Amino acid sequence: MGTPRGKALVTGASSGIGRETARRLAQEGFQVIASARRKERLDELTKENQNIIPRPIDLSDSRQLEEFCQEISILSEPVSVLINNAGFAIRGAIEDVSLVSIRRLFEVNLFALIKITQACLPGMRRLRQGTIVNLSSVVGKFPYPTSGPYAATKHAVEAISDALRMEVHPFGIRVVTVRPGVIATEFNDTANQLTGDLLSRTDPDYKPVYQAYGTAMGKLFSNLVIPGPKIIADLILEAVLSDSPKAAYCAGPMVEEILGPRMKLDDDSFFQFMSEKTGLKDLKV
């Protein structure tokens, strides 16, 4: 027998935006498959709400991902709501980030998202309905210094989402992109931990670049109130429950400050705008 609202899958449900979204979907009556690596965190969610089914997985492990997708594709009640949320960042100038780290970033932020989407689509086509929400970021529309590899994964998520939206619209499947600004979750700590001390390992040429950028960002953030994940979970629920969701939803700091100008300015003007914002405009090394 089907669940009251249907079956949802949330990746990255052990923390932040994914955890809040899994809770909210379960409260709305969806049966939620909650996935992430930290099983104990997923079990806590199940204790809160029996509508949440924990499914531990490391999305960077191709064998685990294959098994998971196989399971999804043979569910008797297909997933009708897919929240592709799992993701992380590493920081650093392009010269300072190894290709191995960049590949791992793409495995989780992009390739797993594509693979899981492919596993869910046949079921959604059978149902002739479904909602796929892909977590992009404001940096899915513009990179800032040190965000190149992470922003590249999110630019790719934007492209995949835009193409998919058109492809599956004829089957009644809706594809939504969500672009958070800066949100208070474990995301920042994880990025700091994975990045390590950039200044100690970079070439001396880059030190003034990192320092000028760090100072400019410090100023930019000093007046910002950083919201928690609820603001994004609210948007995701709004999209899922809407009869006609928007193609994209944005919220949080940096949406007005930088995404707004990105949408209005031509490329050269935006480069000038960002050079000023990031403190690098007059820097000569």
Q: Which of residues 239-278 bind ligand NAP (CB under 6 A)?
A: none
Question: Tokens 């594509």 label which residue?
Answer: 114
Active site residue: 144, 150, 206, 210, which one? 150
Distance in Å, CB of 49 to ligand NAP, minimum: 17
**For 130, left (φ over 0), alpha (ψ -120 to 50), or beta?**
left
Q: Residues 120-159 vs ligand NAP: string with x where CB under 6 A? A: ---------------x-x----------------------
Q: Which member of 6, 8, 14, 141 binds ligand NAP (CB under 6 A)? A: 14
Distance in Å, CB of 171 to ligand NAP, minimum: 25
Q: Does position 21 bind ligand NAP by CB under 6 A?
A: no
The yes-or-no answer on residue 206 being catalytic is no
Q: Which is nearer to ligand NAP, 127 or 231 (CB)?
A: 231
Q: How many CB atoms lie within 10 A of CB 106?
A: 16
Q: Tell me 37's DSSP state.
A: S
Q: Which of residues 41-100 bind ligand NAP (CB under 6 A)?
A: 41, 57-60, 85-88
Q: Which is nearer to ligand NAP, 14 or 131 (CB)?
A: 14
Is the distance from CB of 32 to CB of 52 less than 8 angstroms? yes
Q: Does position 185 bind ligand NAP by CB under 6 A?
A: yes
Is the distance from CB of 254 to CB of 138 less than 8 angstroms? yes
Angstrom distance (rounded) from CA 160 to CA 113: 10
Say which amino acid occupies 261: P
Please enumerate in sequence order all residues whose Cβ is within 8 A of that of 60, keeping only pairs 6 or more positions apart, or say none. 104, 107, 108, 112
Q: Does position 108 bind ligand NAP by CB under 6 A?
A: yes
Distance in Å, CB of 188 to ligand NAP, minimum: 7
Angstrom distance (rounded) from CA 78 to CA 97: 39
Q: Does position 161 bind ligand NAP by CB under 6 A?
A: no
Q: Does position 12 bind ligand NAP by CB under 6 A?
A: yes
**For 279, left (φ over 0), alpha (ψ -120 to 50), or beta?**
left
Q: β-pairing, 79-84 with 31-36?
A: unpaired
Active site residues: 150
- Using CB under 6 A, list all residues that contact ligand NAP: 12-18, 36-38, 41, 57-60, 85-88, 108, 135, 137, 180, 182-183, 185-187, 190, 229
